[in-house]
Structures are given as C-alpha cells and as structure tokens.
Structure 1
Amino acid sequence: RIKCCCHIGGVSSLYASTRVTMPVFPSDTGLRRLWEVVLRLEGFVVGNSSVLCSEHFKPDHFDRTIQIVRLRDGTTPSVFTFPCHL
C-alpha cells in the first residue's frame, strides 16, 4: 500500500528511498495535535492512515538501537520547508 507524507511536497512511499520511513501520527491526542499544528495545514485532521516521512525529523529523534527504527517518545517533527504564504 502506498503511503503519502502529509506535508506539502512530502514524499510518497512509492518514490521514497529505502532510507526514508513513514512514521504514523502518535496516538497520544496532545502530541498528535502538536504534530497537526506544526504542519500548518488549515483544517487538516489526522486520519488513521496519516503519516509524515522521516525527512521531517532530526536524526537524533530516532532510536536505532534495535533492528526496527522507531521515533523516540514525545518527538515532534521539526524539519520543514514551507511556501512563503504559510
């Protein structure tokens, strides 16, 4: 199944390299809302299949100590390039 990053100009899993992962939005409602706010998409509401590509996180946001790469608890995406009108 193809996943698409929610950020404007984000990548799709179809075109992503093997180095790009697609973290799902957190289940914690407060943290999820924070992710929605940093996206700057007016009226955007997270769905069950909403993802952001790993390009929107700093390298130290990930826990790579086990075979499966995971976001660290409480991590907020912070790497974005926005159009001037946003």
Structure 2
Amino acid sequence: IMVKCCSAIGCASRCLPNSKLKGLTFHVFPTDENVKRKWVLAMKRLDVNAAGIWEPKKGDVLCSRHFKKTDFDRSAPNIKLKPGVIPSIFDPSSHLQEHSYSVMDSPKKLKHKLDHVISELEDTKKSLRNVLDREKRFQKSLRKTIRELKDECLISQETANRLEAFCWECCQESIERDYIS
C-alpha cells in the first residue's frame, strides 16, 4: 500500500498509523467542483509539466495543518471538516521551493534536456577546437613569414627572435583570455 502524503508544497506530512495520535488528520479534496477549485487556488501549487495550476488526482489529500482549528467539526467521533471550508494555512516560503517540482519532469523529458545540454557542449567544444586550430595555423604562418623575412635579410636575427617571442606571447595571451576565462 502507498503511504498518502500531503499535497501541499513543502509539507512533509505523511499519513502513518500514529498520525491521528499526533493530532494529524488527512482530508480528500471536495467532490464539489466549486469548493475543490477554491482549495486548489488556495494552495498556489503549480504543475510544472502542464505549465498551469496543479490538479488533484483521486486519493490526493491535504493534512489538517492547512486548516484553522475552527474549520473542524469535532462533535462526531471522527474529526471532519465543516462543509465548504477552504484550507488557508500554507507556508509562504514553501512556494519558493516550487522549482524543486521540476525534478518531477518525466525521465523522458529530463533525458531530452540532458541530451540538449550535451549537444550544446559538444558544439561548443567543436567551435573551441576550430578556433584553437585557426590560432595554431595563424601562428605557423606568422613564424614562416618571420623566417622568410630573416632569410631574405630584410630583418636581423635579433628582430626575428623578438618578433617570434612576441608572436608566441600574443597567441598564448589570446588563448588564455578567450578560452580559459
């Protein structure tokens, strides 16, 4: 058998054998559509997958923590809610945890998101490799040009060395600046 859990966001109440002893009772959603709608709106729970207001399923419950003491009819042996009452006690910070409900995306949806991120990462790696290859080719051609200038005696060995050192520094700096940060 499945343990019933309270449907309110951020509420950890579970319907266990000792719940009643702790004064905790669990209440199914009203069959009256109008009152049910008011319960759902009071909960401010969104359904991330359906991108709308969450809808209770058959057997979903709210625990007594979300109702005022005056909402209960304690005259009967079984504690009941008075007709037409609306739950009104919700932790205001709990709806901030709503994003954790997005983890309830179906495995298929999560896999799709993961695949998308992986493919973006692969594309980024590919373009980084291309840039680094371009950088290497540029460096090679620059070195070749420096060698040719020196061979033609258009620049001295010292100038060639300085240019080569400068070219190497420049390329290293741009690689670090653009791709490591």
Equivalent in the alignment of 2:89: 79
Residues 1:67 and 2:77 are matched in the alignment? yes
CA RMSD after TM alignment: 1.9
Q: Which residue of 1 aligns with 2:32?
A: 28
Map Cα deviations across residues 41-80 of structure 1 (whole Å, 9 max, x no partner): 1231011111000000001100011111110001000111
CA distance in 2, matches of 1:15, 1:80: 24
Confirm or deny that 1:51 pairs with 2:55: no
Q: Are the structure 2 counterparts of residues 36 and 27 from structure 1 closer, same or farther at C-alpha, using a change threshold of 3 Å?
A: same
TM-score (norm 2): 0.44
Write the letter of the residue equivalent to 1:36: V
Q: Choose between structure 1 and 2: higher helix proportion.
A: 2
In the alignment, structure 1 segments of 5+ residues that lack a partner are: none
Q: Does 1:5 align with 2:6?
A: yes
Which of 26, 31, 44 is residue 40 of structure 1 equivalent to? 44
Between 1:16-25 and 1:74-83, the stretch displaced more is 16-25
Q: Say if 1:69 and 1:15 are closer, same or farther in 2 by CA, change over 3 A.
A: closer
Identity percentage of aligned residues: 34
CA distance in 2, matches of 1:67, 1:40: 32
Could you tell me which of 9, 13, 16 is aligned with 1:14? Answer: 16
5+ unaligned residues in a row in structure 2: which ranges? 47-52, 99-181
Amino acid at match of 1:41: R
Cα 1:13–1:80 shift into 2, 3 Å: same
Larger radius of gyration: 2
Is the partner of 1:55 in helix, strand or coil? Answer: helix
Q: Which range is displaced more, 16-25 or 57-66?
A: 16-25
C-alpha deviation, 1:82, in angstroms: 2.2
